Amino acid sequence: MPRYYRHIQRNDVVLHDPEGVDLPDIEAARAEAVQGIRDVLAEAVRQGTDDAFDDSIVLTDEAGRVLMIIPFIEALPPRLRGAT
Amino acid sequence: MQNPLISKLEKHGPLSEEEKEVLQRITARTAIFEPREDIVPEGSTPSHSSLILSGFAMRHNHLPDGRRQITAIHVPGDFADLHSFLLKTIDDGVSALTACRVAFVAHKDLRDVTRNFPHLTRALWLTTLIDGAVHRVWMTSLGRMDARERLAHFLCELRDRLDSIGLVRDDSFELPLTQADLSDAFGLSTVHVNRTLQELRSDGLITSTGKVLTINDRKELRRIAQYNPDYLHIDQKLERD
């Protein structure tokens, strides 16, 4: 299985994913990243903060090629996206 | 190297030469398990209890739909399934995280120990009570802590457990769990696990090189986790008759 890395871009800072996860294909990697974002945002909501809402996941392959950028906000259900 | 079960039990007070010989004898039959290999398969009915001599193992439950919860990490000196001696059928599973050397302690030998060695029997009982205490603290962590607190708490706990068996040097120790393992142990997504670890790193609390983790600011990590190691009862002395 290919390995995918989910770096987190926050303004100018990148929180690296040094390890990555093995998943069957890019669709699975995207779905896994979206679930991950929802988990992070759920905790932010519980804590009453919105500082993670501008972050993005930069999904790369093993060679470091950027496959996809997923803004955190895109992982929200549609009616919540306009809230920021 | 000293038998890790003897080292662990002697934390709770000295053992007699005869008791140590018995422990050596009943842990003599060993096998090697590769990473991710089952040590105690889910639902099995073993005729022996498995003792971790070296390496790390994980205990897990699977839901019928495949989702996994890791319920404990086992380190050298820990029994994976001392309780299979009495429970017979294992209701969860234990598999290797790293390569593990495991001793198979025959249930008939445990029966002899409980018949003839009351102090050893109580010492083994004590280890299962401490395993239970760790489960209760994990439950509290899963129910009440946020991601940062949970991971900080686990790192504090693992450091102290490994330190008690001599596997910590300058607050550095092996952390063989992947993001996916930590995710399944602490009810977090892998993205959340990585983000939280990276934040602990960028706050200067931890660093890691490969599978080796270093705690740089133990006091602050303990403060974040509201960590108190009393539940590990590491030096709890056991009275002799």
What stretch of H or E contains B209? strand B206-209
Give the distance from residue B67's alpha carbon to the nearest chain A alpha carbon, in angstroms.
Answer: 14
Beta bridge partners of A69: A58
Q: State whether residue A73 sits within 8 Å of chain B by CB.
A: no
Query: In this predicted model, what pLDDT tens digit does every residue of B50-82 receive, in sequence order?
Result: 999 999 999 999 999 999 999 999 999 999 999
For residue A39, give the nearest of B179, B189, B202 by CB distance. Answer: B189
- Average pLDDT of B40-55? 97
pLDDT given at position B1: 66
The Cα B180–Cα B240 span in angstroms is 44
Give the distance from residue B191's alpha carbon to the nearest chain A alpha carbon, in angstroms.
Answer: 5
In the predicted structure, residue B241 carries a pLDDT above the cut 90: no
B71-109 CB burial, b ≥16 within 10 A, e <16: bbbbbbbbbbbbebbeeeebeebbbbbbebbbbbbebeb
- Residue pointed to by tokens 């000295």: B14
For residue B191, give the nearest of A18, A36, A47 by CB distance. Answer: A36
Cβ–Cβ below 8 Å for A15 and B178: no
Tally DSSP H helices, then E strands, for chain B.
9, 10
- A17 pLDDT band, cuts 50/70/90, is very high
Interface test with A, best of B186, B191, B199 (most A CBs within 10 A): B191
- A83 pLDDT band, cuts 50/70/90, is low
Query: In this predicted model, what pLDDT tens digit does every residue of B173-208 receive, in sequence order?
Result: 999 999 999 999 999 999 999 999 999 999 999 999
- Residue pointed to by tokens 């809230």: A83
What stretch of H or E contains B103? strand B100-106
The Cα B130–Cα B48 span in angstroms is 21
For residues A69 and B241, the model is more confident at A69
Give Rg (Cα) of chain B: 18
Q: Are B70 and B154 in contact (CB under 8 A)?
A: no
Mean pLDDT over the full length of chain B: 96
Cβ–Cβ below 8 Å for A6 and B180: no
Query: In this predicted model, what pLDDT tens digit does every residue of B6-17 receive, in sequence order?
Result: 999 999 999 999
Cβ–Cβ below 8 Å for B198 and A36: no
Coil vs helix vs strand at B158: helix
The Cα B233–Cα B156 span in angstroms is 15
Q: State whether residue A39 sits within 8 Å of chain B by CB.
A: yes
Q: Are B74 and B127 in contact (CB under 8 A)?
A: no
Mean pLDDT over the full length of chain A: 93
pLDDT given at position A84: 47
For residue B192, give the nearest of A19, A21, A40 by CB distance. Answer: A40
Q: State whether residue A61 sits within 8 Å of chain B by CB.
A: no
Q: State whether residue A21 sits within 8 Å of chain B by CB.
A: yes
Q: State whether residue A68 sits within 8 Å of chain B by CB.
A: no
Domains and CATH numbers, chain B: 4-137 (2.60.120.10), 146-232 (1.10.10.10)
ipTM of the assembly?
Answer: 0.93
Residues of chain B positioned with their CB less than 8 A from the CB of A32: 189-191
The first and second tokens of residue B211, run together, are 């599978």
- CA-to-CA dists, residue B13 to B8, B77, B100, angstroms: 10, 15, 27
Residues of chain A positioned with their CB less than 8 A from the CB of B192: 36, 39-40, 43
Interface test with A, best of B36, B146, B177, B192 (most A CBs within 10 A): B192
Where does B60-117 have alpha helices with state H?
Answer: 84-87, 107-116
In the predicted structure, residue A82 carries a pLDDT above the cut 80: no
Collect all residues with Cβ–Cβ distance below 8 Å to A23 and sequence separation of at least 6: A1, A2, A4, A29, A32
Cβ–Cβ below 8 Å for B194 and A35: no
Coil vs helix vs strand at B240: coil
Q: State whether residue B198 sits within 8 Å of chain A by CB.
A: yes
